[in-house]
Structure 1
Amino acid sequence: MAKVLSMILAGGEGSRLYPLTQSRTKPSVPFGGSYRLIDCVLNNFVNSDLLRIYVLTQFKSQSLNDHLRQAWEVNSFTDTFIDAIPAQMRKGKHWYSGTADAIYQNLQFIQSDEADTICIFGSDHIYKMDIRQKIEFHKEKDAILTVSAIRLPKDQAYHFGIIEVDEEGRMIGFAEKPAVEDAKTIPGDPDHVLASMGNYVFKSQELQSELIRDAADDESSHDFGKDIIPYLMPSGKVFVYDFTTNKIPNEEGEAYWRDVGTIESYWEANMDLLKSTPPISFYNRAWPMHTHYPPLPAANFQNDGDVTCTIRRSLISDGALIVGATIRKSVLGFNCFVGQGTDIYQSVLLGDTKIGKNCVITKTIIDKDVRIADGIEIGVNLEDDKKRFTVSDEGIVVIPKGSRIGF
């Protein structure tokens, strides 16, 4: 395979995930007990043997930088690297004004590199992809740009770039986040659209030329979806890669991809991991999921007198101590303590959390470093919860980092 340079956009503010993004950037939000959101895309590149990666950061990036340093160091004696690049205002005194502007402001890394293929991926989606297969498709089509796409329900169209494609895989139509009633559906399937997954493969020289042209356009919003794709599409050299054709070793079934841009989608993605047959698995040894594991003992489950510790369909990370409590359909991150008689249901604990005795926690996301006193109920009376916490439209309660409840 020709030389490839990869750039991961990891500067997202993540306002729709607030308060989980109150003190961290969106890609750094913990996920699935042991991981961070950015780990999914990094594992896709590492398992695809693509180890020349720049991670472009911006907002509240310290926890992300710490994670990259702890989990993603590679051998500096070879031509491999995973380097965090902060926003440096090289092209003017302003932050990144769009996804294309983020790459343009770091254009020198592309210009000084010998790579002929540039991968530009987002950092906050949950999925697996052998990126080599997409690059092979890109080469076969001699494309300037290849965009990954997935079939989604039409009622979600307003969240994504919606694509039309011909029989050869060429993009012939594109609308960025259209109204649902205006979204073009898949021919023969009026209930679904073909949505951009927000990851791109470019020819290097053509990408450089396009970024320079776009940067000089004062009318542009400097965004790949809004500006770059519509400008390049008429050339006939923009192709669409069908994500469902991507094959991961030792895995079968439908391709899974989820944008975790909202509290609801984040909670649902965690709950997906708990299904009897999860739509995405982190247990495939042929596609290992790397991350940073802190030095903690194994999870410990203890009965307390006549009170039995019960765990049902849950993920419990290292350092957990569960004493006479019931955990059902929940995800617990590192170093969680749960006291006697407490019942936790359909909840996500990000880690470093202590919950007292006889509590009831239902459909709640609890950020790190939270302490909850004995006898507290959360997620039971949403009207009361709304007076104290963030509650999503779907009834998911979110407890911010560092909260002290009932003390």
Structure 2
Amino acid sequence: MSSLFIYDKAEKVLVMLLAGGQGERLYPLTKDRAKPAVPFGGIYRIIDFPLSNCLNSGLKKISVLTQYKSYSLDRHLRIGWNIGNYELGEFIESIPPQKRTSDLWYQGTADAVYQNIYVLERERPEKVLILAGDHIYKMDYRELIAFHESKQAEVTIPCLEVPLHEANRFGIVSINNDLQITDFVEKPPHPRPIPSNPNVALVSMGIYLFNTEVLVKQVIGDAKQDTSHDFGKNIIPSMISNSRLFAYIFNDKNNKAVKYWRDIGTLDAYWDANMDLVQVEPIFNLYDTSWPIRTYYERYPPAKTVFSELFPGGRCGMVLNSLVSNGCIISGARVEKSVISPNVRIEDHSEVYDSIIMDGVRIGKNVKIRNTIIDKSVIVPDGKQIGYNPEEDARQFTVTEKGIVVVPKELPLL
């Protein structure tokens, strides 16, 4: 059976989307919100990308397992993703820790599933697709499921090649000629390259497709042991020698020359992924109507630029190589290579370069901003400079290894 075969039994697959991580490496963007709820690309939240993949793949039974700081995530799901018909077996539901088996919160990815075995008992799916809520990519999960069935697999893990110097952030997968997994090591300090290319390694994308009976047996067995209760660290390595595990080579639906998958678990990775979107030929395609990315956002009027006084010292609203969302007014200011979220106002003679400006930010007159992430509802006073004086920025804000300045949500600036 070809992996291009379109799987037509979506009602037999339950998606469990893990959205409960604390997101410490994205702090302060995660100070008041869960990592999957962090805004991305102007109008989206990170979780919109795996959820859109599910809908585009015909998968409409989705349980989102939440945990820390879930208010804004729950609200986004309730308002923006309340689109299924439960009578037809369609739902996107947010499930906090049930604590059915202990008083503890989720202790790891496998424990999150273990604590929600009741959901599996209620829905009785044939297969369970486990997704992470903090990755940006496009995948048709039907092709993954078809591949899984063609191999008579018990577990299938989507994989892709990454440069060897980056691979220690992921689970490293070894396979035979039939794509069966022969070894799996989670985040080794010295990753093993693939045999055909010493410069790349085959890594797990953090997605797992299980036969339900196999999944239940594994998480119950793991719960009885003193482990990290994690799929990558514990469950998958323990199954290598006695189970049918296969690697599915990522088939990108982004329709670009290079496969696009981003784990945006750090501030620098988050900034990089947003900057990917403002290139003249962006390597991640938001404009492909054949694979739409769905979201919810407020009904603001169209974006507007005002003033065209081109004489020396005049005011000119100008936007270059940027994403500008609805409700924005660029009033006599210059914006270049930046992502501007809804309802942002930038006043006369201000300049914004290589930055991410989130909802409701107000930027005063004669402001200069570069290499900066400004979270929601910050008011930047007239004459303020951010991203130009590293020592001054470090005294007030978070500054990343790459030198990106991060201004927290609603922070009063002087």
Distance 1:386 1:236 in 2: 51
- Deviation of residue 277 (structure 1)? 1.4
Secondary structure at the aligned position of 2:167 is classed as: helix
Match of 1:62 in 2: 71
Match of 1:199 in 2: 207
- Aligned partner of 1:233 among 227, 233, 240: 240
- Deviation of residue 101 (structure 1)? 0.1
Match of 2:262 in 1: 258
Secondary structure at the aligned position of 1:193 is classed as: strand
RMSD: 1.1
- Deviation of residue 190 (structure 1)? 1.0
- Structure 1: runs of 5+ lacking an equivalent: none
Match of 2:4 in 1: none
Match of 1:14 in 2: 23
Residue 397 of structure 1 pairs with residue 405 of structure 2 = yes
- Deviation of residue 278 (structure 1)? 1.1
Residue 360 of structure 1 pairs with residue 360 of structure 2 = no
- The amino acid across from 1:37 in the alignment is I
- Deviation of residue 191 (structure 1)? 1.2
- The amino acid across from 1:114 in the alignment is R
Match of 2:229 in 1: 222
Distance 1:112 1:213 in 2: 20
Match of 2:150 in 1: 140
Distance 2:256 2:394 in 1: 42
**Cα displacement string for residues 222-268 of structure 1 (whole angstroms, at most 9, x for unaligned residues):** 1000000001111240000100x3446xx342220000000000000
Distance 1:362 1:270 in 2: 14
Secondary structure at the aligned position of 2:88 is classed as: coil
Aligned length: 400
Secondary structure at the aligned position of 1:404 is classed as: coil
- The amino acid across from 2:88 in the alignment is T
- Aligned partner of 1:271 among 271, 275, 295: 275
**Cα displacement string for residues 77-123 of structure 1 (whole angstroms, at most 9, x for unaligned residues):** 31100000011211100000000000000011112223111100000
Match of 2:354 in 1: 346
Distance 1:46 1:131 in 2: 10
Secondary structure at the aligned position of 1:77 is classed as: helix
- Deviation of residue 328 (structure 1)? 0.3
Match of 2:290 in 1: 286
Q: Which moved more, 1:304-313 or 1:117-126?
A: 304-313
Residue 32 of structure 1 pairs with residue 36 of structure 2 = no
The verdict on how the C-alpha distance between 1:304 and 1:60 changes in structure 2, with shifts beyond 3 A counting, is same
The verdict on how the C-alpha distance between 1:252 and 1:262 changes in structure 2, with shifts beyond 3 A counting, is closer
Distance 2:257 2:171 in 1: 25
- Deviation of residue 46 (structure 1)? 0.5
Distance 2:358 2:157 in 1: 33
- Residues 304, 323 of structure 1: 8 Å contact kept: no
**Cα displacement string for residues 292-341 of structure 1 (whole angstroms, at most 9, x for unaligned residues):** 02111111110165311111000000110110000000001110000000
- Residues 133, 246 of structure 1: 8 Å contact kept: no
Q: What is the percentage of aligned positions where both structures have the same residue?
A: 43
The verdict on how the C-alpha distance between 1:108 and 1:280 changes in structure 2, with shifts beyond 3 A counting, is same
- Deviation of residue 188 (structure 1)? 2.2
Q: Which runs of 4+ in 1 moved over 4 A?
A: none
Q: Which moved more, 1:195-204 or 1:278-287?
A: 278-287
Secondary structure at the aligned position of 2:86 is classed as: coil
Secondary structure at the aligned position of 1:146 is classed as: strand
Secondary structure at the aligned position of 2:241 is classed as: helix
Match of 2:125 in 1: 115
Secondary structure at the aligned position of 2:208 is classed as: strand
Match of 1:155 in 2: 165
Distance 2:101 2:360 in 1: 41
- Deviation of residue 173 (structure 1)? 1.1
- Aligned partner of 2:134 among 99, 124, 131: 124
Pairing 1:85-96 to 2, within 5 Å after superposition: 85-96=95-106
Distance 1:231 1:113 in 2: 27
Distance 1:315 1:52 in 2: 33
The verdict on how the C-alpha distance between 1:246 and 1:376 changes in structure 2, with shifts beyond 3 A counting, is closer
